[in-house]
């Protein structure tokens, strides 16, 4: 599968177009050395666009998981999320934050740090089943985004970035299966191969944007990354860089 050059934004492409494309949550990719990646991002719009979309997605993930953690006690009419689930979601948030930090330190610029919960997803903040269903769907999209990114980086001749995409696809897959377990799926590990519906990261971003998380009329909630990033709990999480 070879990517055509017009699928990557030229330098003159307006911010609006990038906003249209972005939004994948939970995707992350890192180079072994930050300096070469910074240089690469500045000189290659395609890689720059991709990692900026990913940074935005990571920020979205930190924000939404943070909202779930902060509201853990309110789920299911006050019954609350179980301590086990809260621990898992805290780790998910820590991992997405690690991805965000590494990306931005490498030069990625998130296109927004303000996110919305549309009315039709409002129950993900109050109903545990809705939360787990959403997590499974979202992580499935993120894994697909990583798969697309791996292929794109191969076409761009960037094997180190393809490696990192694989390292991140694995982490998002773990999130998927644990969310599946939490919602009672039998078996939770129900895939022979992770789904790969996207050819480009932009396609995955469009899928996420269609969910209304990057701006929507009359949202149920508007959330700011900064309100959640300051108290990420990394307890027990290792491998915070690739």
Partner 1 sequence: MIQRDGLRRSGLTRRDLVKLAGATGFGVALTRGDAIRDIAEAASMSESVADITNIIVTAEAMAVTLLGAAIQGAAGYSNPDGSKGLAAPFVTVLKAAQSAEQAHYLYLTHSGAKPLTLTFNIPDPKIATDTVTLFKTIETLETAFIAAYVAAAREFAAIKKTDLVRLALQTGGVEAEHRALARLALGEALPNNVAFEKAEFKEVGEAAAALKKLGFIGGTGTPVKYGDFASSVDNTGMTGLTPM
Q: What does the binding site for partner 1 look like in residue numbers (CB under 8 A)?
A: 1-2, 28, 30, 36, 39-40, 43, 84, 87-88, 91-92, 94-95, 98-99, 143, 146-148, 150-151, 153-155, 157-178, 181, 186-196, 236-242
SS3 200: coil
Nearer to partner 1, 64 or 117 (CB): 64
Quick one: tokens of 62? 């930190």
Instruction: Give the DSSP per-residue string, 83-100.
Output: HHHHHHHHHHHHHHHHHH
Nearer to partner 1, 162 or 208 (CB): 162
What minimum distance in Å lies between the beta carbon of 211 and partner 1?
Answer: 21
Asked whether the CA dihedral 76, 82, 85, 86 is positive or negative, the reply is positive
What is the per-residue burial (b if ≥16 Cβ within 10 Å, else e) of 161-187? Answer: bbbbbbebbebbbebbbbbbbbbeeee
Residue 162: alpha-carbon gap to chain centroid: 17
SS3 55: helix
Nearer to partner 1, 39 or 222 (CB): 39
Nearer to partner 1, 191 or 226 (CB): 191
Quick one: tokens of 211? 């969910």
What minimum distance in Å lies between the beta carbon of 239 and partner 1?
Answer: 4
Inter-residue contact 56 to 225 (CB < 8 Å): no
What minimum distance in Å lies between the beta carbon of 150 and partner 1?
Answer: 5
Gap between the Cα atoms of 26 and 216, Å rounded: 20
What minimum distance in Å lies between the beta carbon of 191 and partner 1?
Answer: 4
Gap between the Cα atoms of 66 and 105, Å rounded: 21
Residue 80: alpha-carbon gap to chain centroid: 25
What minimum distance in Å lies between the beta carbon of 147 and partner 1?
Answer: 5
Nearer to partner 1, 1 or 77 (CB): 1
Quick one: tokens of 182? 């939490």
Nearer to partner 1, 116 or 200 (CB): 200
Nearer to partner 1, 17 or 44 (CB): 44
What minimum distance in Å lies between the beta carbon of 113 and partner 1?
Answer: 20
What minimum distance in Å lies between the beta carbon of 215 and partner 1?
Answer: 28
């Amino acid at each position: 599968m070879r990517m055509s050059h017009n699928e990557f934004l030229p330098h003159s492409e307006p911010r609006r177009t990038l906003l249209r494309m972005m939004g994948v949550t939970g995707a992350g990719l890192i180079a072994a050395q930050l300096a070469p990646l910074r240089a690469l991002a500045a000189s290659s719009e395609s890689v720059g666009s991709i990692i900026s979309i990913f940074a935005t997605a990571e920020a979205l993930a930190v924000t939404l998981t943070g909202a779930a953690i902060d509201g853990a006690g309110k789920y299911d009419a006050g019954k609350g999320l179980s301590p086990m689930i809260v621990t898992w979601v805290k780790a998910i948030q820590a991992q997405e934050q690690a991805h965000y930090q590494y990306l931005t330190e490498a030069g990625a610029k998130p296109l927004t740090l303000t996110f919305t919960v549309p009315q039709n997803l409002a129950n993900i903040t109050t109903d545990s089943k809705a939360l787990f269903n959403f997590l499974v769907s979202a992580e499935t999209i993120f894994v697909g985004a990583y798969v697309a990114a791996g292929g794109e980086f191969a076409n761009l001749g960037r094997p180190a970035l393809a490696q990192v995409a694989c390292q991140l696809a694995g982490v998002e897959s773990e999130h998927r299966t644990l969310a599946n377990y939490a919602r009672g799926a039998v078996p939770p590990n129900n895939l022979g191969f992770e789904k790969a519906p996207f050819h480009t990261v932009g396609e995955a971003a469009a899928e996420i944007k269609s969910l209304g998380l990057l701006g929507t009329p009359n949202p149920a909630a508007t959330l700011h990354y900064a309100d959640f990033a300051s108290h990420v709990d990394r307890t027990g999480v290792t491998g915070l860089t690739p």
